[in-house]
Amino acid sequence: MKSLLKLLSLLPLLLLVMCKKKDTLIPEGTLTAKDYVYNNAIKRFEPDETVSGSLSANFEMRTVYYYLQRQGKTDTLLQIDFLRNDASSNYEFALKSESWSGVNMNGSKGLKVLAVRDNNTSIEKIIAINYFDPAAPVVGEVPETITPNLTGVTAITGKITSPTGIAKVDIFDNANGDFELVGTVPGNNAKDLQLNYQYEYNDGAGQLKIEVTDIYGLKAEKVVQFVNIPFKPVITFASTTLKVALPDGTPEVKGTIKSFTALTTVNAYVVTAGGSTLHQVVTPELENSVPNEFNYSFTVTSFPFAENVTSCRLEVTDATGTSTANANVQILPYYYWKNLTMMAQGNATTTSSTCFFTGDLADPLIGPCDANANPELHTKIDFAIFTNSTPLLAFQNPSNISSGTLTTFKCNGTNWDPPLPNATTLMKTTFRVLTDAQDALLRPRLEAMSMDDLSDAFFTGVQAPTASAPNSGTFRENSLLYVKAVTQAGVTKNILIRVVNVNVVAVPNQATSTITFDILKQK
């Protein structure tokens, strides 16, 4: 009887638990979105350039996460939407273009969308994303050389193929120096095209170029050399676009010249919006010759690259006439200095004039005397160099330099005098010494100078910098450092450093230690 009474007394509690269990929410929802294809040829999504959709759920969504799924790789978080006051059971979303910046889309299979209310309530849905990387067109069965009819027409034949479809075939010749369009054959989106273009010779032309464009804009080309006829000199730059990172990241200006007779003059000009100026009378080097054909190489030395320079123009003359060709100049959106040497804070007898890096194009290194004389420079200092009594040489985050260390930077005995507190007035700069694996991601592109910018996308695969004072115990000669300099207003510049040499001087003169490095800084 007592047991029965005890069970009856627990009955309300059992019913309450059962009711709560019955009321437990099972998260459910739907996602409405198109299937997408990332077309690597045009670097965008299809059928819409923006990946978007709508979510509905049986709970209030507060945060939405978006993960790219790829074959053989862990999911990559692209974007987080915090709904906060807009929390709702219905949400329309779109991924920002910057969320895809620097992401390798190869092997993409889907976008995982995770909508969350709390740790216990969420739904996960997938948007299909496929990766499409079409092959470029192929120009085949075109002869290497042709003897054109000088008074009639010459049949230019070949077989053009494209797996996606041929948009057009453009025909160029170089009668005036650079290749200029002389005719177009429509492709009509065909996969195969038997080319039979009737070319009318232009006086002085030495080459003809066939350029095929597919429906996505991918191109392929073939250059045909004219033989057995007089032709104006043919100029070929080693690079048709000269990519320049001022002041020291300058490419060689060189190439080849083919002529019908021996060259008489080769002149190089600097071209700006205001006109052209003779830079150098070039002496070409004869590589080989046969009757009616001379082959030269050339190098333009000390070409004066600058922000206002648009191209280098070469004018070449032989007995048949004069040809011109241009190599366009592209000024890259970052600076590049080679072999900069900074001295640490200095001591009572030696004042350092290079302990601060500002990244100013004309004068990237300054010292305490410069900063004290021109207070505007204090907030332009990206980092300082300091050597302690261990001794270890270290990069210093200006906003994180201790009050004691600040007083060691002196101008002939007078303290460096930046506005205080430096935590809220000076540049906030953080550093990361790259591991071997991270180094392998960036060094090949640095050595080849193949990057068009220093945006965060360039540093994909490397965690953001977090250290305030990496020292010579953590880096060595040839180390790479990823640096972020942030102004108090929130403007961020990426920096990449390659250490060339570290010279740590023994105590008591450790403050005269030096470091030499190459450095790139985002404009």
CATH number at residue 116: 2.60.40.10
| pLDDT score for 84 | 76
Same domain for 180 and 124 = no
Contact criterion met (CB below 8 Å) for 406 and 396: no
Could you identify the residue written with the tokens 């302690």? 388
Q: What is the pTM of this model?
A: 0.74
pLDDT band at 497 (very low <50, low <70, confident <90, very high): very high
Residue-number span of the structural domain to which 283 is assigned: 234-331
Who wins on pLDDT, 483 or 489?
A: 483
What number of CA atoms fall less than 13 Å from residue 411's CA on the CB side? 14
For 387-400, the pLDDT digits (tens) are 999 999 999 999 99
Is 18 within a domain?
Answer: no
Query: 241 in a domain, yes or no?
Result: yes
Q: Which of 59-63, 100-104, 214-218, 331-335 has the lowest mean pLDDT?
A: 100-104
Do 143 and 157 share a domain, yes or no?
yes
Assigned domain for 145 exists: yes
Same domain, 398 and 493: yes
Q: Given this model, what pLDDT does residue 17 score? A: 47
Same domain? 379 vs 511: yes
Q: What is the pLDDT of residue 104?
A: 86
Which tokens go with 171?
């025909």
Q: Mean pLDDT over residues 16-31, rounded? A: 69
Q: Say whether both 187 and 110 belong to one domain.
A: no
Could you tell me if 430 and 462 are in contact, meaning their C-beta atoms sit under 8 angstroms apart?
Answer: no
User: What is the Cα Rg of the chain in Å?
Assistant: 33
Within-domain flag for 416: yes
360 and 325 inside one domain: no
Confidence of residue 297 (pLDDT cuts 50, 70, 90): very high
pLDDT of the residue at 85 = 79
The CA distance from 162 to 173, in Å, is 23
Q: Are residues 476 and 388 in the same domain?
A: yes
Stretch 98-122: mean pLDDT, rounded?
A: 90
Does residue 8 lie in a domain region? no
Q: Given 331, 357, 383, which residue is the final one in a domain?
A: 331
pLDDT band at 99 (very low <50, low <70, confident <90, very high): confident
Question: What is the chain's mean pLDDT, rounded?
Answer: 93
> What is the pLDDT at residue 447?
93
16-25, 218-227, 345-354, 458-467: least confidently modelled range: 16-25
Are the beta carbons of 487 and 397 closer than 8 angstroms? no
The reported pLDDT for the residue numbered 119 is: 81
Q: Do 68 and 81 fall into the same domain? A: yes
Domain edge (last residue) among 226, 246, 281:
226
Q: 488 or 480, which is more confident? A: 480
181 occurs within a structural domain? yes
Q: Tell me if 417 is assigned to some domain.
A: yes
β-pair type (410-411, 383-387): unpaired
pLDDT of residue 511 exceeding 50:
yes
Residues 359 and 311 in one domain: no
Distance CA 349, CA 468 (A): 28
Matching residue, tokens 């092997």 = 107
Rounded distance between C-alpha atoms, residue 170 and residue 155, angstroms? 15
Total domains present in the chain:
4
Same domain, 191 and 142: yes
The reply to whether 470 falls in a domain is yes
Which residue do the tokens 């003059």 mark? 265
Summarised one tens digit per residue, pLDDT across range 308-365 is: 999 999 999 999 999 999 999 999 999 999 999 999 999 989 999 999 999 999 899 9
| pLDDT value of residue 350 | 95
Let me know whether 173 and 288 are in one domain.
no
Q: Are residues 442 and 294 in the same domain?
A: no
Q: Which of 64, 99, 132 is the last residue of a domain?
A: 132
pLDDT at 1 over 60: no
